[in-house]
Amino acid sequence: MRGFRIFLFGLMALSGACNNNPRIPSGLMTEFIREPGNVRIMDLKPEFTWIVPQAAKRQTAFEILVASTKKNLENNIGDVWTSNKVMNSQSGELEYGSSNLSANTTYYWKVRIWDGNDKSSGYSGIQSFTTGDPDGYSTTANRFHSSLVKPERIVKLTDNHYFVDFGRDAFGTLVLEINPSENDTIVLHLGEKFSDTNQIDRNPVGTIRYQKVLLPVEPGKTRYIIDLPPDKRNTGPSAVHLPDSFGVVTPFRYAELENYRFNLKPGNVIQKAFNYYFEDETSSFTSSDTILNQVWDICKYTMKATSFTGIYIDGDRERIPYEADAYINQLGHYYTDREYSMGRVSSEYFMKHPTWPTEWILHTVLMFWNDLMFTGNTESVRAYYEELKHKTLTSIAREDGLISSKNVTDDIMGKIGFSNVKERIRDIVDWPPAQKDTGWKLAGSAGERDGYDMVEINTVVNAFYYQNLVLMSKIAGLLGKTDDSLFYHNESLKVRDTINLKLFDKSRGIYIDGESSLHSSLHANMMPLAFGIVPKEHKKTVINFIKSRGMACSVYGSQYLLEGLYREGEAEYALVLMTATHDRGWWNMIRSGSTIAMEAWDMKYKPNSDWNHAWGAAPANIIPGYMWGIAPAEPGFARAIINPQLGSIKHSKITVPTIRGTITAEFRDTEKIKEYTITIPANMECDFILFGSAVYKMNPGLNKLVFKKVL
């Protein structure tokens, strides 16, 4: 190595506006909805969002016009409301500023901005929206989308028997386009798993889906949408129900058609797939590691494929929202699409529909915090603030600050949202637990808790409790609730100190599973590491212990394991875990044949698992948010942070959607040069961090940065 030189310079980025005119605002959103034409806006004082054109570099003022007709707006007449010229750099979540709009009415809006030279951009395109008829505060849900997917492969097995592969698992049904000449019955098989005999696995284990359907056909009827039988468990009272127009859907990748007396062509058989509104092109990732690329692909697709109910659910077995599942799903969704309504609908759902695990309750604050940071909008957290305070579980804290679920009362159960106050929350740590706790007949099944000692004062629970206090202090501060902010801050310091005093084994330099426990698990150490509880002098021993345990946690637990590793600069080990080729990694999901993240690392670790579980898709947020280190440093991405920890990756390129526009980043490492190229949206500030400490400031006047290290 000849030493090095560092070049740092800024250039104006090329326009990234999704618009024919690159000098006007684009990316318009009404209440987070990008295409609100078929959506009822459930806020009569909606918020408006746009992307500032890159050519402007930054926004110093804006003007919004709202009109009753498109013609009025084309003539620049805001007969409903005009904001006039407002000196403000905010380009997201600007509230309609007059008296409430009328319910069930269509309106039109557009915006223009002024740059640092007080030059007007010209008006954006026109967006229309129709209001609903809300009764109080209500989040607007986006629309569902259906797509018709043609087969990637058709194999004729025998006469009148065909095998069809659609390439990816999707929630939906099958559509046939045929012209029968007589009454007949086609035997259909739909499934997720392929067998070695070039057929669908008709006896898959666990909750991997397979269905057989008899389809009567008759002359004169040429289009058939398969009517699937409902599953009692995932269409029961506790499940999230689909719109009646969907019919019954099932996840499937493969189809077989028996007694099919026609020549089967791709246009004859279609997979009709359902999902929440999703724009694939808003995010991307590639790198020099081909396994990591495939891990990203399956995890990103999981965000889209599992969104079919419009709320984050736990997979197809139950279709029930759980807070921990939803938290990982929410983060992955934010990093793969410029979509925020589903995350907000989900977090608000849990206020009245909590689930039983203690740690799941403690994910609620985390979800509201994510919503606030990624959108910059305080409406939801302000509306639910008083109820959210109960979700922190401060009411069950001992004098030393630590909490135990054993201290919950009927009154507390009611305040955290349970309709049956006689229920009780219970610690979970990870899932599934050991065989002895589940009754599963699987020899050697140790569960996913790494032998955790389930004692009354639980280290994992209290680590989550500490994180709740930290985030509630920040939320209260942003809402102007100074006394609450100070209270939660002081409580967090007390809890952190008590954890390190009472739940840390100084002789070994690692955390124990709980008060009076003699056992130390991966979980009891990775959670304190992920949440910043570990003192500097003990980080080395805690990290070494964590690394000695490998992936001794579930797909859910991997979220916090990887968070902790990246937090402390252990990028290479984290990369090893994400690209592992043994059976406790994402490559094993791909190798097993799944195209959506699985509920467990392998069927042998959770015999009833499914192949469509978004809580198994942590890399969808870990790769952009931790490996590339792209995250909001201020609400609504007013300021971003980019702190890449790419390990041994030689090349990577990523695009990350934000409410203000797209961040792009690229890295090249050759024999002669190491180079980062970072482009941020106009009207955003950014701290680009290298080597964990060197900070380079990017601002709206410097929205492209190239950092070169010449070897």
Question: Mean per-residue pLDDT for 105-109?
Answer: 98
Residue 436 has a pLDDT of 55
pLDDT of 442 > 60? The answer is: no
Report whether 8 contacts 705 (CB < 8 A).
yes
In the structure, what pLDDT confidence band is assigned to residue 131 with cuts at 50, 70 and 90? very high
- Answer yes or no: are the C-beta atoms of 129 and 106 closer than 8 Å: yes
Q: So what's the pLDDT on residue 178?
A: 94
**Residue at 167 is within a domain:** yes
In-domain check, residue 582 = yes
What is the gyration radius of the CA atoms in the chain, in angstroms? 26
Chain CA centroid to CA 529, Å: 22
The whole domain housing 241 covers 145-276
Rounded average pLDDT over 62-67: 98
Q: Show the CA angle centred on residue 434, arms to residues 433 and 437, nearest 5°.
A: 85
Angle in degrees, CA 507, 399, 451, rounded to 5: 45
1-5, 45-49, 70-74, 484-488: which has the minimum mean pLDDT?
1-5
User: Residues 6 or more apart from 237 whose CB is under 8 A from it?
Assistant: none
311 and 268 part of one domain: no
Tokens for 124?
A: 């954006």
Which residues are paired to 675 by β-bridges? 668, 708
Instruction: Give the Cα separation of 482 and 476 in Å (integer).
Output: 7
Mean pLDDT of the chain: 93
Asked whether 423 and 408 are in contact (CB, 8 A), the reply is: no
Show the tokens assigned to 581: 């080729």
> Is 17's pLDDT higher than 50?
no
With H, G, I as helix, E, B as strand and everything else as coil, classify residue 294: helix
User: Which pLDDT score is estimated for 575?
Assistant: 98
Neighbouring residues of 378: CB distance < 8 A, sequence distance ≥ 6:
372, 478, 479, 635
Q: Check pLDDT > 60 for residue 2.
A: no
Is 409 inside any structural domain? yes
**What's the confidence (pLDDT) of residue 472?**
98
Same-domain pairing of 73 and 149: no
What six digits make up the tokens of 443? Answer: 């020899």
- The helix/strand/coil state of 644 is coil
Where are the alpha helices (H) located in 177-274, listed in sequence order? Answer: none
- Tell me whether residue 69 is in a domain: yes
Q: Is the same domain home to 129 and 156?
A: no
Three-class SS state of 164: strand
Q: Would you say residue 496 lies in a domain?
A: yes
The CA distance from 73 to 92, in Å, is 21
- By three-state DSSP, how is residue 367 classified? helix
Asked whether residue 398 is domain-assigned, the answer is yes
- Which run of H or of E encompasses 561? helix 557-567
Element (H, E) at 474: helix 459-478
Q: Are residues 59 and 190 both part of a single domain?
A: no
pLDDT score recorded for residue 11: 40
User: Contacts for 233-238 with beta carbons within 8 Å, 24 or more apart?
Assistant: 233/317, 233/318, 234/316, 234/317, 234/318, 234/319, 235/319, 238/318, 238/320
- Measured distance CA(496)–CA(328) in Å, rounded: 24
| Same structural domain, 368 and 404 | yes
**66 burial type by CB count under 10 A (0-12 exposed, 13-18 middle, 19+ buried):** buried
Of 122, 141, 160, the residue that ends a domain is 141
Distance CA 577, CA 289 (A): 13
Q: Are strands 639-642 and 685-690 parallel, antiparallel or unpaired?
A: parallel
6: confidence class by pLDDT, cuts 50, 70, 90:
very low
Of 307, 187, 312, nearest to 256 (Cα)?
187
Least confident range from 35-44, 440-449, 656-665: namely: 440-449
Query: Tens digit of pLDDT for each residue in 207-239?
Result: 999 999 999 999 999 999 999 999 999 998 889
The verdict on residue 355 lying in a domain is yes
What pLDDT shows up at residue 129? 98
Give bridge partners of residue 186 from the DSSP assignment. 215
Residue for token digits 């509920």?
A: 599
d(CA 87, CA 231): 56
Total of domains in the chain: 3
Specify the DSSP element, H or E, that contains 83.
none
Determine the pLDDT at residue 229: 92
pLDDT band at 177 (very low <50, low <70, confident <90, very high): very high
Whether residues 319 and 349 fall in one domain: yes
Which of 346, 337, 349 shows the shortest CA–CA distance to 374? 337
Last residue of a domain, one of 106, 141, 176: 141
What is the CATH classification number for the domain harbouring 390? 1.50.10.10
Measure CA 516 to chain center: 37
Q: What is the mean pLDDT of residues 161-187?
A: 96
* Span 278-285, average pLDDT: 97
Asked whether the predicted pLDDT for residue 631 surpasses 80, the reply is yes
- Residues 32 and 199: their CA atoms lie apart, in Å, by 43
- State the pLDDT confidence band at 13, using cuts at 50, 70 and 90: very low
Please, what is the angle between helix 341-352 and helix 323-336, to 10°?
170
Spatial separation of the C-alpha atoms in residues 376 and 535, rounded to whole Å: 32
User: Within 13 Å of residue 389, how many CA atoms lie on the same side as its CB?
Assistant: 12
3-state secondary structure (DSSP) of residue 127: strand
> How many residues belong to the chain?
711
pTM (2 decimals)?
A: 0.95
Q: Which CATH number covers residue 88?
A: 2.60.40.10
What pLDDT was estimated at residue 196?
78
Amino acid identity, position 73: L
141, 165, 186 - which closes a domain: 141
Residue 708: the pLDDT is 81
Q: Is residue 9 pLDDT above 70, yes or no?
A: no
Confidence band of 20 (pLDDT split at 50, 70, 90): low
> Is the distance from CB of 426 to CB of 405 less than 8 angstroms?
yes
**What CATH number is given to the structural domain containing 215?**
2.60.120.260
| pLDDT value, residue 21 | 67
Residue 2 lies in a domain: no
Q: Decide if pLDDT at 10 tops 70.
A: no
Q: Does 555 score more than 90 pLDDT?
A: yes
Summarize pLDDT for 689-711 with one digit per residue, the tens. Answer: 987 778 888 887 778 888 887 76
In degrees, rounded to 5, the angle at the alpha carbon of residue 27 between the alpha carbons of residues 34 and 294 is 80
Q: Are residues 502 and 597 in the same domain?
A: yes
Of residues 698 and 421, which shows the higher confidence score?
421
Taking the mean position of all CA atoms in its chain, how far away is CA 257? Answer: 36
Phi, psi of 281 (to 5 degrees): -80, -5
In a shared domain, residues 135 and 159:
no
What is the reported pLDDT for 704? 83
Are 539 and 598 in a shared domain?
Answer: yes
Among candidate residues 119, 110, 109, the one with its CA nearest the CA of residue 57: 119
Residue 435, pLDDT score? 56
For the chain, what is the total number of helices (H) and then of strands (E)?
Answer: 18, 28
Classify burial at 709, counting beta carbons within 10 Å of its beta carbon; exposed 0-12, middle 13-18, buried 19 or more.
Answer: middle
pLDDT score at 12: 38
Question: What integer pLDDT is reported at residue 464 of this predicted model?
Answer: 98
The 10s digit of each residue's pLDDT in 319-376 is 999 999 999 999 999 999 999 999 999 999 999 999 999 999 999 999 999 999 999 9
Which of these, 41, 43, 48, 62, lies nearest to 126 by C-alpha position? 48
Whether 180 and 72 map to the same domain: the answer is: no
**What is residue 711's predicted lDDT score, i.e. its pLDDT?**
65
Report pLDDT for 363: 98
Residue 509's pLDDT band, with cuts at 50, 70 and 90, is very high
- Please check whether residues 77 and 199 belong to one and the same domain: no
Instruction: Give the strand pairing for 673-679 and 661-669.
Output: antiparallel
User: Residue 425, by phi and psi: left (phi above 0), alpha (psi -120 to 50) or beta?
Assistant: beta
| Same domain as 150, residue 137 | no
